Amino acid sequence: MTTRLLEIENLNVRLAAGRAARPILDGVSLHVERGEAVGLVGESGSGKSVTCRSVLGLLPEGSQAAGSLRVDGEDILTMSSNRLRELRRRDVSMIFQDPRASINPIRRIGDFVTEGMRAGGVPQKDALKRAEELLESVGIREPRAALRSYPHEFSGGMLQRVMIAGALAGGPRLLLADEPTTALDVTTQAEVISIITRLQAERDMGMLFVTHDLELAAAICDRIYVMYAGRIVEAQSAERLFRRPRHPYTSGLLAATPRLESDQPPHGVPGRPVSLAEAPDGCAFAARCAHARPGCTEDEPVQREIDGAQVACLRAEELIHD
Amino acid sequence: MTEYALEVENLRKSFGGHVAVDDVSFSLKPGGSLAIVGESGSGKTTTARMLVGLERPDSGRIRVVGRDRSNAARGKATRLARARELQMVFQDPYLSLDPRVSVAQCVEEPLRLHFGMSPRERRARRDELLERVGLGEREADALPRRLSGGQRQRVAIARALATEPKVLILDEATAALDVSIQAQILDLLAEIRRDTGVGYLFVTHNLALVRHIADDILVLYQGRVVESGPTRDVLAAPEHPYTRLLLHSVPRPGWDPAQIAADRRALATALREARAPSAAAEPARHDPDAAPTRRSVTP
Ligand SMILES: Nc1ncnc2c1ncn2[C@@H]1O[C@H](COP(=O)(O)OP(=O)(O)OP(=O)(O)O)[C@@H](O)[C@H]1O
Ligand SMILES: Nc1ncnc2c1ncn2[C@@H]1O[C@H](COP(=O)(O)OP(=O)(O)OP(=O)(O)O)[C@@H](O)[C@H]1O
Ligand code: SF4
Ligand SMILES: [Mg+2]
Ligand SMILES: [Mg+2]
């Protein structure tokens, strides 16, 4: 059996420092194969970004992680910092949620895009030439001039593309895309996604795509993981997740999403999302779940396989959603 | 003749040499619901800001329940009267709520400003408003930072409703919320419209949302209205190429982002050529009585 490109097993992250001590992720397991696009969806605070960033070894300050996080079989959590740096430069890239907060505002765009290549020993001249090509391929006109400009000279959408160019510059095998298009309008979003998916197919790159937009995840991902309060509650192929969600939270999310092609008005899920730290005993979704039974607030649902789907709901076998 | 809650004619605004809003006209019936859609930078927010007086139009007319407010308000009484009729809710309620003021005080403030109520009447009305948006005593005592995004947006709505406006403008008011919370807020807005007859002007680029909340739609592209009409008709049979592009851009099964990207560039080129001075067409004239129901498309 070949090793998987990304394999996260039973990842637990908790803030350990004093009064702020609290759990953030609980038993997160997921994988990404070469060439595969995998979605990670869920509401604000469910732990999508923490999961994504942990693959780069970027854990919240003062936190402890347990479990394993392997890229091509190598464990991130036990890796030397030299090896981790090399991995980030060459094999794993991330598009961060907020481009303005993650690109150094006082450095030129050229420095940002060529950083990884130069650190990897590519001569300055070659790196600049490659950067120019990349900026062109993400649809930046006048790429040579762009290399000399500063982040504030770009709109949010343009800066997002610069970040995509930077993330792809090192030719990564794994791309972590954390809400790369949330700040963009739909036409710009389509343009940015077309760039990412084209390069993904061309290079057989694996991708973990974080979003809270289920429709977007379904349109570009092969498989989707759904997170709620720091845990994975469901995983299925994108197509089946839509046709036959297995977890009440997933069907709630689907029902709440306004659809262009449906007369059904969106329906809210009562209550609000909770973080893992606030989650009560038993199922974290129980307070908002229309199917909750007294037992749901006692036993924590374990994930199991039902008809090809991974589900963590005590009543998954009896409930059918459509 | 119908008296419109809101009527806008040939509104125009430029910043430096750049025309942000170009000859925009529309109207909203009492208790109606109109969505202004368009890509980033198309002039949606600038239009909304002119309506509530946060920006001065270069030219054009704005009438609210028949009264002209194109000129700057003179005197406190006029300013207050205008604020009563038209209220706005922004995308980020955190920025628009004073962080030092409790939810209860925040909702009481417009009551104090606009109505001669006794403290007791004011408290009663405040509680009624908070209950209306589903907030209880515990939230009333809290500072905004202790509330979730959805709760903060409810506070902003309660505060906006305090003056009993004729029209509520919502600029991407649910964009920052999770979908499960967004749907709750939409339900709430629908219920309030049914009960109070307030009209809504939604500013958004989410077409799927528009389909479920707006009776009429106005499509802006580079500051101009390119298409307008009943939402149902425009979405079922879009006539302007930009409206079509916008529709195709919404992610769904069979979505083809590469095609959309190509179409977008082709459209920008085509429209730039069509709008070159020699080919400039006469701007479509606005007919307020016909506009909300009749389809209109501008090249
Ligand atoms: N650096 C940090 N220090 C302390 N807590 C953190 C840190 N980063 C995240 N958290 C907490 O971990 C939980 C998960 O946060 P995370 O950012 O992963 O959510 P998310 O699913 O990405 O949400 P969003 O959709 O809003 O981006 C939250 O409760 C958050 O407050
Ligand atoms: N105060 C200002 N000074 C200069 N230019 C401005 C100002 N406000 C808006 N603009 C410009 O006017 C145009 C329209 O902006 P506006 O904010 O109305 O767009 P929008 O449709 O609301 O976009 P978004 O969807 O991104 O919110 C843009 O080109 C913008 O840069
Ligand atoms: S375990 Fe119970 S409360 Fe949780 S999702 Fe399943 S039915 Fe609902
Ligand atoms: Mg996040
Ligand atoms: Mg705007």
Average pLDDT over residues A74-89: 92
Instruction: Indicate the residue type of A38.
Output: V
Closest CA to B102 of B126, B133, B76, B83: B126
Give B263-280 as a DSSP string: HHHHHHHHHHHHTSGGGP
Q: Which domain holds residue B255?
A: 6-99+167-281
Cβ contacts of B236-243, under 8 Å, gap ≥ 24? B239/B295, B239/B297, B240/B297, B240/B298, B241/B267, B241/B270, B242/B267, B242/B271, B243/B219
Q: In this structure, is residue B204 part of a structural domain?
A: yes
Closest ligand to Cα A282: 3
> Which pLDDT does position B1 carry in this prediction?
55
Residue pair A71/A6 in contact (Cβ under 8 Å)? The answer is yes
| Mutation test residue for ligand 1: of A11, A19, A46, A249, the one with most atoms within 8 Å of CB | A46
A212 pocket-lining for ligand 1 (C-beta < 6 Å): yes
User: Which range has the worst mean pLDDT, A5-14, A52-61, A243-252, B275-284?
Assistant: B275-284
Sequential pLDDT tens for chain B (299 residues) = 568 999 999 999 999 989 999 999 999 999 999 999 998 889 999 999 999 999 999 999 999 998 898 777 788 888 888 888 999 998 876 677 888 999 999 999 999 999 989 999 999 999 999 988 888 888 899 898 888 788 888 899 999 999 999 999 999 888 878 888 889 889 889 999 999 999 999 999 889 999 999 999 999 999 999 999 999 999 999 999 999 999 999 998 889 999 998 998 898 888 778 776 554 444 444 443 434 445 777 76
Q: How far is the CA of A102 from the centre of ligand 4 (A)?
A: 13
Q: In this structure, is residue B14 part of a structural domain?
A: yes
In the beta sheet, which residues pair with residue B33?
B200
pLDDT score of A310 more than 80: yes
Residue in chain B nearest A44 by alpha carbon = B178
Which one of A46, A158, A260, A285 makes the best mutation probe of the B interface by having the most chain B beta carbons within 10 Å?
Answer: A260
CA distance B269 to B266: 5
Average pLDDT over residues A115-140: 86
Residue in chain B nearest A250 by alpha carbon = B180
CA distance A30 to A224: 10
User: Which range has the worst mean pLDDT, A158-167, A245-254, B157-166, B271-280?
Assistant: B271-280
**Domains contained in chain B, number:** 1
> Which pLDDT does position A180 carry in this prediction?
87
A118 pocket-lining for ligand 3 (C-beta < 6 Å): no
pLDDT score of A20 more than 80: no
Residues 6 or more apart from B292 whose CB is under 8 A from it?
B27, B28, B29, B32, B34, B215, B216, B230
What element of type H or E holds A198?
Answer: helix A186-203
* CATH number of the domain encompassing residue B47: 3.40.50.300
pLDDT score of A4 more than 70: yes
Q: Does domain A6-91+173-271 have CATH number 3.90.226.10?
A: no
Q: In this structure, is residue B148 part of a structural domain?
A: no
Structure confidence at residue A111 as a pLDDT band (50, 70, 90): very high
A147 pocket-lining for ligand 3 (C-beta < 6 Å): no
A203 pocket-lining for ligand 3 (C-beta < 6 Å): no
> Which pLDDT does position A287 carry in this prediction?
93
Closest CA to A216 of A179, A168, A161: A179
Which one of A44, A48, A187, A233 makes the best mutation probe of the B interface by having the most chain B beta carbons within 10 Å?
Answer: A187
The three-class DSSP label of residue B169 is strand
User: Which range has the worst mean pLDDT, A31-45, A270-284, B158-172?
Assistant: A270-284
> Which pLDDT does position A181 carry in this prediction?
84
Q: In this structure, is residue B26 part of a structural domain?
A: yes
Q: Using a CB-CB distance cutoff of 8 angstroms, which residues of chain A are in contact with residue B264?
A: 187, 190-191
CA distance A84 to A75: 10
Domain extents in chain A: 6-91+173-271, 105-171
Closest ligand to Cα B38: 2
Q: In this structure, is residue B288 part of a structural domain?
A: no
Average pLDDT over residues A174-193: 86
Report residue B180 as tokens: 């499960």
> Which pLDDT does position B121 carry in this prediction?
94
Mean pLDDT over all residues of chain A? Answer: 91
Phi, psi angle pair for B88, to nearest 5°: -130, 140
Q: Do A190 and B184 touch (CB under 8 A)?
A: no
> Which pLDDT does position B291 carry in this prediction?
40
B121 to B80, B102, B155, B195: CA distances (angstroms): 20, 19, 19, 21
Phi, psi angle pair for A29, to nearest 5°: -130, 130
Nearest alpha carbon, ligand 3 atom 6: A313
Gyration radius of chain A over CA positions? 20
Q: In this structure, is residue B266 part of a structural domain?
A: yes
> Which pLDDT does position B299 carry in this prediction?
62
Residue pair A102/A115 in contact (Cβ under 8 Å)? The answer is no
The three-class DSSP label of residue A279 is coil
- Number of other CB atoms surrounding residue A238 within 10 Å: 20
Report residue B174 as tokens: 């649910």
User: Which range has the worst mean pLDDT, A67-71, A216-220, B145-149?
Assistant: B145-149
Taking each helix axis from N to C end, the angle separating A81-90 and A109-119, rounded to the nearest 10 degrees, works out to 120
> Which pLDDT does position B292 carry in this prediction?
40
